[in-house]
Amino acid sequence: MSEFVKMLLALSLSGTLLLSATLILKKFYKNLFSRCWQYYILLLVAARFLLPVVFDYNITGYLYGMAVNAWQDNMPDETVTDVKSTANIKETKEIKKVIGIKETQTDIKNNIKQDIKNTAKNIPFYSYLLNGIKGIYKYCFYIWLIPAVVLIVHKISVYRGFINYIRATGTPVQDIATLNLLAEFGEKLGIKKAVELYCSPAVSSPVLAGFFRPYIIIPASHIEDKKLFYVFLHELVHYKRRDIFYKWFIQIIICVHWFNPFTRLLSKEVNKACELSCDEAVISMLDKNERRVYGDTLLSFVQTKETYKNPLGTVTLTEGAKQLKERLGAIMYFKKKSAIIKIATVIVTIIICFNFLAAGAYAARNRQDSTEVIKNTDNIKNKEDINLRGDNRLISYRQRGFYCSPYIFEMGWDLREEEEKLYPYKAKVILDDDSGIIVHFDDKIKKYCKDKEVLNAAGRLVSSIKKNNTIIKIPLVTRVTYVKPEDIPDYAEKYYKKGDLIGFTALFPELSKEERSRYLNKMYNSDNRIVFFASVTENIDRDLFLTYLDKSSEGTKKVNFFSVLASYAKYEDLKYYIKKSYKSGDTARFAILSGYMSVKDKKKWLAKAKKDKKTAFCAILTDK
């Protein structure tokens, strides 16, 4: 839901930007370009409020990035290291990290937001502010949804009320000559559907209503036959162009973006352009004298007040005296556009279309960033991906916490060569085989580049890592914390309470068997800390591992724990739980286990599910 709110706000901003740019350009083309073009170009502006179709780099995405960067830049320097090294991140992201699933850009954005929040906890003002924003932000979707639904229901009710009122108080026109005139014009304009004609005291100006069953409602007072000619022509042109659908499209935008006053301005511009373009279409079919009579017809319907002023979702012959002046002027000075004006129209259309894309939206930047992240993670073997910030861009990178007495290191490796420049502080460390390797340090801990004890410990750490990962190059250290061996239990407890995942997982293997068992029990039972449990699962001895695997295979509350444990289990052990979940109808766990099945076993279980007519299991096992 939060992503939906971001998208909504981005579309609202981009729509406002495009509308503003169009209104500025209008000052130059207002009296030059076709009124019809001016009307339909607003449809493109309206679409900007609803369609997230944009360039990869756009204004809204740029403004969003500036806002995020400004927020981070205002954080105190001493907390930046913690932002990079802390691991108090969302459970779903950490589970993916542990079991080897690559992050999406949504995960990256969530990570940055959580890092900012964690930093803010140490700053009273930011903590207070962020907690307040968080409290409101959780309900942003509902804060938006309720007024939007109320508005749309209200608008539909008003429209239906008007139609029902017309049917109740109005009378169908029975005059054969009038109906024949209406039918004749409809035939000339190529309108095949019958248009009904009503006479009602509810209106003082002719009105067209109805989506699929069109009505023309004329005032109850007598209208001269020559005026009916122009009334029918005007309203039928509206119907032929489907202007009612256009107007309701704008009403939907107003409901969706009820918080944006610019949508009301858009509606006002569309209503004005609608009548001017309709007038242009009508007078293009008339000679000079007929245009004068058409203008007199418009004037005659602005004399009295109407019961339903500007009925919602309808198109009227006249919408007020202020607009009438401009309409009459357009009628008086109407002339066909020259070739130069047509070429200029094409150029301005291209400019506005470019602005449509350049105004941008939040989602477009997401797609681009996501592509970059996936591309950057192609060569990563150890899929423990996290994100470091450097050179104002996101870098896909892997790192984790280690303890090499007496220091906790947060270290990663296989930093790309082009990213080395972002971390100029480095030192050569000697490994156990007397070879050397360059280790980079984050600029917030640059002082350790010259600390011999830290460099010796870093050398031992890299040596131990190389035993399990022979190819390790360009290591990067982002955190160094001094912890005496005798203080490990106290620090582990501190990190566990604080939610420091990196610190805790670095120290967990150093704890006694009893202490590890105690923490696992807390994570699983009382604290329900799936993230912490997932991060230390590889350090659980086999007997205890199987105990938790069996415990998590029961009921509905521990499916997440079961998913984590299954990713570390041997397939021979999982076969028992595949049978168990199938027999008990546990589709959640069966779906998890299906990911570890061989092709042969999957086919065997699919055949069995089909035979047993268990459609849910068939769906899980079917790749289509």
Q: Say what the pLDDT of residue 280 is.
A: 83
Q: Say what the pLDDT of residue 331 is.
A: 60
Q: Is the pLDDT of residue 604 over 80?
A: yes
Give mean pLDDT, residues 43-54: 81
pLDDT band at 207 (very low <50, low <70, confident <90, very high): confident
| DSSP of 307-347 | SSSS-TT-EES---HHHHHHHHHHHHT--PPPHHHHHHHHH
Q: Say what the pLDDT of residue 253 is.
A: 92
pLDDT digits (tens, 9 = 90+) for 66-107: 554 444 444 444 333 333 333 344 444 444 444 444 444 455
Q: Are strands 385-390 and 215-219 parallel, antiparallel or unpaired?
A: unpaired
Q: Are strands 393-404 and 407-412 parallel, antiparallel or unpaired?
A: antiparallel
CB count in 10 Å sphere of residue 393: 11
pTM for the structure as a whole: 0.49
Q: How many CA atoms lie within 13 A of 388 on its CB side?
A: 28
The answer to whether the beta carbons of residues 398 and 383 sit under 8 Å apart is yes
Dig out the tokens for 388 from the structure: 């470091």
pLDDT band at 333 (very low <50, low <70, confident <90, very high): low
571's CB contacts (< 8 A; 6+ apart) are 596, 598
Structure-derived torsion over alpha carbons of residues 509, 515, 521, 523, reported in degrees to the nearest 10: -50
Q: Say what the pLDDT of residue 65 is.
A: 54
Angstrom distances, CA of residue 376 to CA of 366, 410, 604: 15, 21, 38
Q: Are strands 436-441 and 425-430 parallel, antiparallel or unpaired?
A: antiparallel
Q: Say what the pLDDT of residue 457 is.
A: 92
316 vs 374: which has the higher pLDDT: 316
Q: Say what the pLDDT of residue 224 is.
A: 75
Q: Say what the pLDDT of residue 90 is.
A: 42
Q: Is the pLDDT of residue 573 over 80?
A: yes
pLDDT digits (tens, 9 = 90+) for 348-384: 778 777 666 665 555 444 433 333 333 333 333 333 3
Q: Is the pLDDT of residue 195 over 80?
A: yes
pLDDT digits (tens, 9 = 90+) for 388-419: 433 333 334 567 889 998 999 998 887 777 77
Structure-derived torsion over alpha carbons of residues 610, 615, 619, 624, reported in degrees to the nearest 10: 60
Q: Say what the pLDDT of residue 411 is.
A: 87
CB count in 10 Å sphere of residue 62: 13
CATH code: domain 169-261+274-323 is 3.30.2010.10
321's CB contacts (< 8 A; 6+ apart) are 302
pLDDT digits (tens, 9 = 90+) for 444-469: 898 998 899 999 999 999 888 888 76
Q: Say what the pLDDT of residue 54 is.
A: 56
282 vs 391: which has the higher pLDDT: 282
